[in-house]
Amino acid sequence: QIFEALGLDEAVVDRCFRGTASRIQGLTFDLIAEDTFRFHERGFLSRYTVGIKGLPESGEYHWRDGGEAHVNDPTSIANIQDAA
């Protein structure tokens, strides 16, 4: 190797930079994770979101249990399949 890892823990160097010299220890995986989560939180703030209810399903276009009556309800389709 023509370079040396500075400021990384031995476990990080062994896993990510195998065979690289590292005489000055430093960041561990835990510290790297903390930094990563901190930067992520700054960029994408955790926000409470409210689930918005959509329009009620009336069954006007697709069959819904308790919705508008259709000619092609599941019982009719099952009867047609049995007859075929």
pLDDT tens digits along 31-63: 999 999 999 988 888 777 677 777 777 767 777
Considering only the C-alpha atoms of the chain, give the largest distance between any 2 of them, rounded to a whole number of Å. Answer: 81
pTM of the model: 0.50
Torsion (CA) 69, 60, 58, 52 in degrees, nearest 10: 160
Classify residue 60 by its DSSP letter.
S
Tell me, what's the pLDDT at 62?
Answer: 77
Distance CA(21)–CA(9), nearest Å, equals: 11
Instruction: Report the DSSP pairing between strands 4-8 and 21-27.
Output: parallel
Tell me, what's the pLDDT at 63?
Answer: 78
Q: Which of 11-20, 34-43, 59-68 has the lowest mean pLDDT?
A: 59-68
Residues 38, 21 contacting (CB under 8 angstroms): no
Comparing 76 with 29, the larger pLDDT belongs to 29
